[in-house]
């Protein structure tokens, strides 16, 4: 790895005698990791070992995920670099809360927050770039998240629509990516001596919007995957100076993990900055991260009333179709018809107390149940990934690797199983993987064409 001369000089000056181990670590091997999904029925992976837990991550393990394997395809695991898993642990989202992940793609931290929330409350996950927001939405779907809104909006527009609304806000800010040099050497090509300062200025702009969405008494977590003090301690020092209603909370550094205090001497000397955390590759098996946790004063401002999203009325004929589908296919699923919204012919059940969408671009609005077709209702792939197998009326377990590969390739499966005509939840490794329709001894494949491989 050829590091820029200016980068080397900068961290020789900042780290002094620690710079040698730091540069040696950057030239060393990358540590791979993954997280188990607590939303899934079966928590035992088919392809992966749980022998090496990540010390700072409740559901995290070291290991490399097969992107075409059963564990990944069913959403049981999310491939995520070990240090990155610490950020959502600091957020510590609770069931029933309203939580925002403001710059969320590709979805590692959002899916981790969803697991913490256990399907209860509202997870609003946003990505300004639409192409990346689509990837975020796909990962939310694969993880079986039923209570998430996925949007593609500028933080300024979200702040205008959702002032003082969220119990917890995470901003994993776009940064210079120094902490990812070892994992992604291409990041080096974007780096210049002035780049961290440019990124810090951008982060200040996003933060000025993020703080507006934290409700009084709420929590703001700011994180980066860079070592740069300009983007880390100095940005938090700027935040504390400009928004005195916020104060730093001491982060549990997990004794023995190698997680370090942040460096007040790299900013304005405020000793409270030590409450933030730094993860260095020379100190632990992971890449570089910075995390700060702040709380907003309970008396900072009066709580504002936010309009909720109204459900869409469906015709009597459509309601009958949907009721019959639910009874025949997913009798164990509790559907609140007052929370149904439509995007064309697709029907979503939005989270409780969901704020009005207004002019915000929405990609996913809670759980997509399915699509109205002519004289029938067809289940969505998201539904197969979100329900527990015991909620489905009919289940077919794909027991061997060849049958699994045939199914995700889009092939029909022949079976002598005792099934009734209609939709069947296909499972692999004990978790839902998709739908099939049983007709005359054959399972007609409904695995989405865009996911087949």
Output the known binding site for S-adenosyl-L-methionine: 103-109, 127, 154, 172
Q: Is residue 108 within a helix (H) or strand (E), and if so which, with residue range?
A: helix 108-117
329 contacts 423 by C-beta, under 8 angstroms? yes
Q: Indicate if the alpha-carbon torsion angle 191, 272, 265, 258 is positive or negative.
A: negative
Tokens, residue 261: 């205090």
CA distance 151 to 159: 13
* 225 part of the active site: yes
Write phi, then psi, for 179 (nearest 5 degrees): -70, -10
Q: Indicate if the alpha-carbon torsion angle 312, 314, 318, 319 is positive or negative.
A: positive
Binding-site residue numbers are 103-109, 127, 154, 172
Identify the DSSP state of 230. Answer: T
Write phi, then psi, for 339 (nearest 5 degrees): -105, 15
| Torsional class of 262: left (φ above 0), alpha (ψ -120 to 50), beta (otherwise) | beta
Q: Which one of 175, 225, 354, 368 is the catalytic residue?
A: 225
**88: nearest Cα among 170, 146, 167:** 170
235 contacts 248 by C-beta, under 8 angstroms? no
CA distance 442 to 84: 44
Within 8 A by CB and 6+ apart from 261, the residues are: 253, 274, 275, 276, 277, 278
Identify the DSSP state of 29. Answer: P
Strand partners, 278: 260, 290
292 contacts 276 by C-beta, under 8 angstroms? yes
Burial 334-344 (b: 16+ CB within 10 A, else e): eeeeebbbbee
Residue appearing with tokens 């001491």: 250
Angle between helices 195-213 and 233-242 (to 10 degrees): 40
Question: Active-site residue numbers?
Answer: 225
């Amino acid at each position: 790895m050829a590091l820029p001369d200016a980068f080397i000089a900068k961290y020789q000056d900042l780290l002094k005698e620690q710079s040698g181990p730091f540069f040696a670590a950057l030239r060393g091997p990358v540590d791979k990791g993954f997280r188990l999904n607590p939303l899934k029925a079966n928590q035992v992976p088919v392809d992966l070992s749980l022998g090496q837990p990540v010390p700072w991550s409740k559901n995290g393990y070291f290991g490399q995920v097969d992107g075409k394997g059963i564990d990944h395809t069913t959403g049981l695991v999310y491939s995520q670099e070990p240090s990155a898993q610490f950020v959502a642990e600091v957020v510590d989202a609770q069931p029933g809360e309203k939580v925002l992940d403001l710059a969320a793609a590709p979805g590692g931290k959002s899916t981790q927050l969803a697991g913490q929330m256990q399907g209860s409350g509202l997870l609003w996950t946003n990505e300004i770039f639409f192409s990346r927001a689509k990837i975020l939405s796909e990962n939310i779907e694969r993880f079986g998240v039923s209570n998430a809104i996925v949007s593609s909006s500028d933080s300024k527009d979200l702040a205008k629509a959702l002032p003082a609304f969220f119990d917890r806000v995470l901003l994993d800010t776009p940064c210079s990516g120094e902490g990812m040099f070892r994992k992604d050497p291409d990041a080096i090509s974007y780096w210049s001596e002035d780049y961290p300062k440019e990124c810090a200025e951008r982060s200040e702009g996003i933060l000025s919007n993020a703080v507006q969405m934290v409700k009084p008494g709420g929590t703001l977590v700011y994180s980066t995957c860079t070592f740069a003090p300009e983007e880390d301690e100095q940005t938090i020092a700027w935040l504390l100076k400009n928004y005195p209603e916020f104060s730093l909370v001491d982060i549990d550094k997990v004794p023995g993990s190698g997680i370090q205090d942040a460096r007040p001497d790299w900013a304005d000397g405020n000793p409270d900055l030590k409450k933030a955390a730094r993860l260095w590759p020379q100190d632990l098996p992971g890449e570089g991260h910075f995390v700060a946790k702040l709380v907003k004063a309970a008396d900072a401002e009066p709580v504002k009333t936010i309009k909720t999203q109204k459900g869409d009325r469906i015709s009597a004929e459509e309601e009958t179709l949907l009721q019959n589908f639910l009874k025949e296919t997913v009798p164990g699923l509790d559907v609140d018809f007052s929370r149904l919204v439509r995007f064309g012919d697709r029907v979503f059940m939005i989270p409780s107390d969901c704020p009005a969408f207004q002019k915000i671009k929405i990609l996913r609005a809670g759980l997509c149940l399915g699509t109205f077709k002519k004289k029938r209702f067809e289940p969505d792939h998201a539904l197969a990934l979100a329900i527990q197998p015991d909620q489905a009326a009919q289940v077919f377990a794909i027991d061997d690797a060849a049958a699994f590969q045939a199914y995700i390739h889009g092939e029909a499966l022949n079976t002598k199983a005792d099934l009734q005509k209609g939709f069947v939840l296909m499972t692999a490794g004990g978790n839902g993987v998709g739908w099939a329709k049983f007709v005359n001894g054959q399972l007609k494949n409904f695995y989405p064409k865009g996911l087949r491989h």
